[in-house]
């Protein structure tokens, strides 16, 4: 999912009245990381990458102390697999899995500015 697709998906969430409350972030996991070799979950140590598709209503964008203040829809974020809460969001064209987590569960973000 690229930045434009994540913005389009965020719009789709809003159109379906999906709201993220508090200081939470909605993330779509990047499935491109899976390879053909199966590694047990207990052996995996690297964080999981995903795109931000929603930011909670409790985020104060003016507060420089708020970890999510600078976050934008479409940013890459890295998090551990045990922290998010998974939600199945039904849409007309199928069910989409959305992961919602607190700002403390996000380890790092990368902004890839569209060219």
- Please tell me the number of Cα atoms within 13 Å of 21 on its side-chain side: 0
Residue 28 has pLDDT above 80, yes or no: yes
DSSP 55-94: E-TT--TT-TT-TTTT--TT-EEEE-TTSPEEEEEEETTE
Partnered with residue 97 across adjacent β-strands are 88
> pLDDT, tens digit, for every residue of 59-95?
776 776 666 667 888 889 888 877 789 999 998 889 9
> pLDDT, tens digit, for every residue of 30-66?
765 554 455 666 655 667 889 999 888 877 767 766 6
Task: Report the top-level CATH class of 3-31+47-110.
Answer: mainly beta
CB 94 within 8 A of CB 63: no
Give Cα 35 to chain centroid, integer Å. Answer: 21
């Amino acid at each position: 999912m690229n930045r434009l697709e994540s913005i389009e998906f965020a719009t789709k969430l809003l159109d379906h009245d999906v709201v993220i409350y508090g200081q939470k972030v909605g993330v779509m996991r990047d499935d491109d990381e899976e390879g053909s070799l199966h590694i047990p979950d207990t052996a995996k140590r690297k964080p999981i990458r995903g795109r931000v598709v929603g930011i909670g209503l409790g985020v104060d964008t003016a507060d420089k102390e708020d970890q999510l203040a600078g976050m934008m829809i479409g940013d890459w974020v890295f998090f551990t697999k045990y922290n998010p809460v998974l939600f199945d969001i039904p849409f007309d064209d199928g069910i989409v899995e959305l992961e919602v987590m607190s700002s403390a569960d996000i380890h790092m973000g990368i902004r890839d500015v569209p060219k």
